[in-house]
Chain A
């Protein structure tokens, strides 16, 4: 091909190159400090407003201090319970269950989602059932879970799975369904068949929907897990749910609220640091950033 370089009209090359540079205008990337600060300050502002509102309610003496303690004592207690109490153990137990249960939910949900999206029969049979399960509050499964598995970890995992699997499966299905047909045709023309079709075309195309499903699945897994832990109390094994229940029974409302703050912080951190970041990275790479919240 190099031999034809000489006869290649230089004018055409110059014109194409000129047009390309007119068409592609790349904005200068903002500095890292500015980018981090512009992402962080709204969150800091919202946090201080929430803490301020909490403090105002406490100052209004609507409830006595021992029932509704202010942010100062609660945050102090949170630190104390983490360092001196068994809150750290409780968090470790809950997070281990969350991780195990969520990984299982992702595997089951993904396999189920791909199967339903690709098979007409399965879709007709199971498709609407999955959406039905998704609308059912997972707490409603708890009594059945206790009947089936007694007061064991299996009951907690059962509730977590029925909470998270439908969201993840639906995410996969939506991702596959929303793939532009022209990309599938392009894949066929390029020779992507069998497993290669899934690896190079179908699954990457479904990734944004899949990520949305993973994020929603996590939210469902987290709340199902805590609901399960509140009811299914296993002796000598502190967890966040058990901590909430016990501190309430002992009228230790400061520790109860400290555990709540811990739950909130874990939820927020995973949502924005893990799922938020993943989603932004994927959407940005595909030029879809800004279309999602």
Chain B
């Protein structure tokens, strides 16, 4: 049984450049003999300003893929093209620097790019306003909740003036209420900024709630198994029947994929 909806070949607003382009990307860890394939000939195009979610079971190489696109690692073969755009990466942990205040954390990427001080201050205030954390500018990361830290991390990523935002299960360890609110928040920020987003998650409903498109990967090695266009109008709700129906279909395929690994 396969439920594969037709892939949206052309983004709804045509004429846009490509945001991220992966062509036949493979990644093998270790050396011959003990080599482990993490990714196998993955090809994926993300349009400029598109929101694409990657789902897959454990071992599908989602995090490897993001590391490659972020330039933290190099593919064994294949090409990755982000058109020379700056790429920001968010992790499951906020990874804020505990010795800096909230505003100094957001300021750091500007400082590293040698932006003049007055400009930095103005930009930090603007970004904290955008993630609704202006009142907490002077706090330290440990004084904030997990959801607030992720919003600071989002502001910090935006401070890089990146056009591409990679997110590695950023809401994985948050409670359900906070996660729902952050979905709304992220969707709003994405619309305001027009960022290209590649969002990795284990949570299929989350993927359908957020993505223009959901890409499913197989495990060990990771391959693109199927793509699903999400037609439902925005803003969506995670508990809406449209989201739930599509998510159920994707989850069924994902389970098939997991079962396949138990048979041998």
Partner-B contacts on A (CB < 8 A): 1, 4, 8-9, 12-13, 15-17, 19-20, 23-24, 26, 180, 182-183, 185-186, 188-192, 196, 200-201, 204-205, 207, 282, 285-288
B108 is an interface residue with CB less than 8 A from chain A: yes
**B156 and chain A: residue at smallest CB distance:** A190
A287, B136: Cβ atoms closer than 8 Å: no
In the bound complex, CA of A192 to CA of B111 (Å): 10
A interface SS class: helix
Contact A190 B178 (CB under 8 A): no
* Residue B147 is within 8 A (CB to CB) of chain A in the complex: yes
B11 at the interface (CB under 8 A from A): no
With a cutoff of 8 Å between Cβ atoms, the chain B residues found around residue A286 in the complex are 98-99, 140, 142
17 residue pairs of the A-B complex, CB under 8 angstroms, read: A1-B129, A15-B181, A16-B185, A19-B177, A19-B178, A20-B135, A20-B145, A23-B144, A185-B91, A186-B97, A188-B72, A192-B108, A200-B97, A285-B140, A286-B140, A287-B141, A287-B142
The 6 closest A-B pairs by CB, nearest first: A287-B142, A23-B145, A186-B95, A286-B98, A182-B95, A189-B89
Partner of A183, one of B87, B97, B126, B142: B97
**Could you tell me if A4 and B192 are in contact, using CB atoms closer than 8 angstroms?**
yes
- Report whether B70 and A189 are in contact in the complex, using a CB–CB cutoff of 8 Å: yes
Q: Is B221 an interface residue (CB 8 A)?
A: no
Q: For the complex, give the distance between the alpha carbons of A9 and B234 in Å.
A: 13
- Tell whether, in the assembled complex, residue B160 and residue A16 are in contact, meaning their CB atoms are under 8 Å apart: no
Cross-chain contact B113 with A23 (CB below 8 angstroms)? no
Residues in A neighbouring B139, C-beta threshold 8 A:
24
Could you say which of B130, B136, B184 contacts A20, with CB atoms under 8 Å apart?
B136
| Contact residues in B for A282 (Cβ distance below 8 Å) | 99
Apart from A16-B132, A182-B91, A186-B97, what 10 extra A-B contacts exist at CB < 8 Å? Answer: A1-B192, A16-B185, A19-B145, A23-B147, A24-B139, A192-B112, A200-B111, A282-B99, A286-B142, A287-B98
The residue of chain A having its C-beta at the shortest distance from the C-beta of B98 within the complex is A286
B93 at the interface (CB under 8 A from A): yes
B155 to chain A: closest CB distance in Å? 12
B112–A183 contact, CB under 8 A?
Answer: no
Is B109 interfacial (CB 8 A cutoff)? yes
Distance (whole angstroms) from the CB of A267 to the closest CB of chain B: 29
Tell me, in angstroms, the Cα distance from A188 to B71 when the chains sit together: 10
